[in-house]
Amino acid sequence: MITMKELRKAAATVRRICGKADIGIVLGSGLGGFDSTLIGARRISYSDIPGFPISTVEGHAGEFAVGTLRDKRVMIMSGRFHSYEGYSMDEVTMPVRVMALLGVKTLILTNAAGGVNTGFNPGDLMLITDYINLSGRNPLRGPNMDAFGPRFPDMTDAYTPELRALALEKAAQLNIPLQQGVYCWMNGPTYETPAEVRMARLLGADAVGMSTVPETIVARHSGMRVLGISTITNMAAGVLDAPINHEDVLAMGERTQENFTALLEAIVDGIRDQSPEAL
């Protein structure tokens, strides 16, 4: 298990190079270009952070960037970690703990997801209203880290209602269609089978993917407000008579960049100032 001492050492390194931030953003597959919107960005590679994992997936740059966006101090994680890469839940969620230590109180999670809802289309953006955890894993398993939060955190509003309302408001102002739905987390790295997708749909899922939920859980445990947005890069297995591959996922992510960037900037602009509390 990653200790508080190791988390503080990693946070101190990022703070020395990049500074602190109020808002954190995690970029999913094919969405990495958003960090270019930061003004005066300072960057650090994951490989230069003590004890940090290394992202191994194509489309994940593997660095933190901290700068100013719409007069807010924003920390962007370009590339996340997944359990299918062989990392433990502690390692997958280590960046969220580090963000908490660096003052982040609002976390925006993005991902590339497969559309389970047959009313969706590739290229849609989906506001995550809730999640279903079908992985059999939970990042809070083991001794509780009391400095971050309680043993049994409430997940009634895993995705903060006020932030969801803000996202819908900004999407309407920008005339950007924004679907809403439930995100289902499965382990991967295989894409889901048609039978698994049918099961997810019966359970109430609208999209399926291999990330985001562990980060959501740890962020909420740490007292952060959380917003989640999925880019529907493909329809999940069995919805269309077509194979799924990672290259097409990345390409669709890149094609949605204009709407994604505009919406994310507007959301950041609308987030109220907060006073971070040091752990």
Q: What is the mean pLDDT of residues 68-95?
A: 94
CB distance 70 to 166 below 8 Å = no
* H or E stretch covering 22: none
221 is catalytic: no
Q: Which two tokens stand for residue 167?
A: 């996202």
User: What CA–CA distance (Å, rounded) separates 20 from 12?
Assistant: 10
Question: Does residue 276 form part of some domain?
Answer: no
Give 54's pLDDT tier (boundaries 50, 70, 90): confident
Question: Does residue 212 form part of some domain?
Answer: yes
Give 243's pLDDT tier (boundaries 50, 70, 90): low
85 is catalytic: yes
Which residues, 6 or more positions from 250, have their beta carbon under 8 angstroms from its beta carbon?
29, 30, 58, 59, 112, 233
CB distance 59 to 253 below 8 Å = yes
Amino acid at 267: I
Given the residues 211, 222, 230, 259, select the one marked as catalytic.
Answer: 211
Give 240's pLDDT tier (boundaries 50, 70, 90): low
Q: What is the mean pLDDT of residues 96-107?
A: 98
60 is catalytic: yes
The least confident of 35-39, 207-211, 250-254 is 250-254
The least confident of 36-50, 216-230, 243-257 is 243-257
For the chain, what's the residue count?
Answer: 279
Give 58's pLDDT tier (boundaries 50, 70, 90): low
Question: Does residue 79 form part of some domain?
Answer: yes
Question: Does residue 136 form part of some domain?
Answer: yes
Which residues, 6 or more positions from 72, have their beta carbon under 8 angstroms from its beta carbon?
22, 23, 268, 269, 271, 273
Q: What is the count of structural domains for the chain?
A: 1
Given the residues 85, 192, 196, 215, select the one marked as catalytic.
Answer: 85
187 is catalytic: no
Task: Quote the pLDDT of residue 57.
Answer: 67
Give the C-alpha distances (Å, rounded to integers) separating 190 from 135, 186, 209.
13, 9, 10
Task: Quote the pLDDT of residue 163.
Answer: 97
Question: Does residue 278 form part of some domain?
Answer: no
Task: Quote the pLDDT of residue 217.
Answer: 98
Is a pLDDT exceeding 80 seen at residue 258? Answer: yes
Question: Does residue 238 form part of some domain?
Answer: yes
- pLDDT tens sequence across 114-159: 999 999 999 999 999 999 999 999 999 999 999 999 999 999 999 9
Task: Quote the pLDDT of residue 26.
Answer: 96
Question: Does residue 275 form part of some domain?
Answer: no
Q: What range defines the domain where residue 231 resides?
A: 4-270
Is a pLDDT exceeding 60 seen at residue 273? Answer: no
Supply the mean pLDDT for the chain.
Answer: 90
Q: What is the mean pLDDT of residues 60-67?
A: 86
Task: Quote the pLDDT of residue 233.
Answer: 86
Is a pLDDT exceeding 90 seen at residue 59? Answer: no
Q: What is the CATH number of the domain that holds 264?
A: 3.40.50.1580
131 is catalytic: no
Q: What is the mean pLDDT of residues 249-261?
A: 76
- Coil, helix or strand for 246? helix
User: Reduced to 3 DSSP states, what percent helix, strand and coil does the chain have, rounded to the nearest 5?
Assistant: 35, 25, 40
84 is catalytic: yes
Given the residues 61, 65, 77, 82, select the one marked as catalytic.
Answer: 82
Task: Quote the pLDDT of residue 27.
Answer: 92
Is a pLDDT exceeding 60 seen at residue 97? Answer: yes
What is the percentage of the chain residues whose pLDDT exceeds 70? 89
Q: What is the mean pLDDT of residues 56-82?
A: 86
Which residues, 6 or more positions from 52, have their beta carbon under 8 angstroms from its beta carbon?
10, 46, 94, 95
Question: Does residue 95 form part of some domain?
Answer: yes
Given the residues 6, 12, 84, 135, select the one marked as catalytic.
Answer: 84
Task: Quote the pLDDT of residue 33.
Answer: 79
Give 242's pLDDT tier (boundaries 50, 70, 90): low
Task: Quote the pLDDT of residue 208.
Answer: 96
User: What CA–CA distance (Å, rounded) separates 199 from 204?
Assistant: 9
246 is catalytic: yes
Q: What is the mean pLDDT of residues 193-197?
A: 93
What residue has token string 């949605």?
256
Is a pLDDT exceeding 80 seen at residue 207? Answer: yes
Task: Quote the pLDDT of residue 111.
Answer: 93
